[in-house]
Amino acid sequence: MTTALWRRTLLSIGMIALALIIGVPLYYIVINTFKTQADMVSSPLGLPETWSFANWSSALGDMSIYQAFGNTLYVTVLAVLAQLLVGAMAAYAMIIARNRTTRILGSLLLVGFIIPPQSTMIPLYRTLVGFELVDSLNGLVIMYMGGAIFCFFLIQGYMRTLPYEVIEAARIDGAGTNQIFWRIVLPLIKPILVTVGVFQTMWVWNDFLLPTVFLSSPQKETIVLQVYSAVSEFTTDWPAFMTITVIALIPMVIFFVFTQRHIVSGLLAGSVKG
């Protein structure tokens, strides 16, 4: 018994030590937001000599960060809701009318499932320039609509497990396709909508590629883009940069804490875009 206890203690110590090493970069950015420039250079990992909140007040006093949050929120909410709706509608239509046409369509859509945004980026950029949708948040939302195909596949997989009797009963009671979708199917598939929604939110909120290509004016920047441009702005003032970084990370951390459970269940469902 004692050897088992020893083993467990050793495992505990080893795992915690290893995890702390993994966590060092996170500690590093947070602790340095409370330091002055000189303090940070002399001891990058030590506690601050005097706790300074100047970085925080200057970062939070800058209005552009709120603007960037607003932009990111707008794009993420709109894009993810639209993706889920388009994906769920298609999945529903395919599930209740399964014939050769929908089967062929389903396998065609696999193309959209596998093709990454990079492959279509340049022609789409050119097209959006023509429609004056470059450097516009709505243009960015349109670009993210490609993710609807990914949603479709996951939602369809989940819908297959639903009992048909429910839809059938609603039909006998005289409900139309539309009514069944909004009143019965959508509430029933809520778990998969949440899981897919969490993954798509993490993708859109964190994405760097599409904003960096499609946005150019500073007042339209998303939060990730804002942090990136802050680097050139504060080349010498690292603590100021760290503070913006931490502020940018906070929403994602809160989001992660509340959705952790769904992330794991999504991983188990066997399909994640990462």
| Residues within window 159-198 making contact with another protein, judged by CB under 8 A | 160-161, 164, 167-168, 171, 176-178, 181
Residue type, 88: A
Neighbours of 82 (CB within 10 A): 17
Region 127-166 residues binding another protein, contact defined as CB under 8 A: 127, 142-143, 145-146, 148-149, 152-154, 157-158, 160-161, 164
Contact between 104 and another protein per CB under 8 A: no
Q: How many CA atoms lie within 13 A of 58 on its CB side?
A: 14
Q: Please, which residue, 87 or 197, has the CB nearer to another protein?
A: 87
Please say whether the beta carbons of 228 and 212 come within 8 A.
yes
Q: Give exposure, 105-117, as e/b (b: 16+ Cβ within 10 Å).
A: ebeebeeeeeeeb
| Smallest separation, CB 53 to another protein (Å) | 21
Helix, strand, or coil (residue 26): helix
Q: Please, which residue, 94 or 137, has the CB nearer to another protein?
A: 94
Region 207-246 residues binding another protein, contact defined as CB under 8 A: 207-209, 212-213, 224, 227-228, 231, 238, 241-242, 245
| Rounded Cα distance, 133 and 98, in Å | 37
Binding test (CB under 8 A) with another protein, winner from 54, 73, 77, 96? 96
Contact between 47 and another protein per CB under 8 A: no
Binding test (CB under 8 A) with another protein, winner from 1, 3, 25, 235? 25
Residue type, 200: Q
Furthest CA-CA distance within the chain: 76
Contacts with another protein: how many residues (CB under 8 A)?
Answer: 103
Q: 100-114 and 64-96 are packed helices; what angle lies between their axes, rounded to 10 degrees?
A: 150
Q: Please, which residue, 67 or 171, has the CB nearer to another protein?
A: 171
Q: Please, which residue, 137 or 159, has the CB nearer to another protein?
A: 159
Instruction: Tell me the window of 25-33, 51-59, 73-81, 193-201 that interacts with another protein (CB under 8 A).
Output: 25-33
Q: Give exposure, 202-222, as e/b (b: 16+ Cβ within 10 Å).
A: bbbbebeebbebbbeeeebbb
Residue in the block written with tokens 């937001």:
33
Region 249-268 residues binding another protein, contact defined as CB under 8 A: 249, 252-253, 255-256, 260, 263-264, 267-268
Region 76-95 residues binding another protein, contact defined as CB under 8 A: 85-87, 89-90, 92-94
Q: Please, which residue, 1 or 19, has the CB nearer to another protein?
A: 19
Cβ-count burial of 104 within 10 angstroms (0-12 exposed, 13-18 middle, 19+ buried)?
Answer: exposed
Binding test (CB under 8 A) with another protein, winner from 47, 49, 53, 98? 98
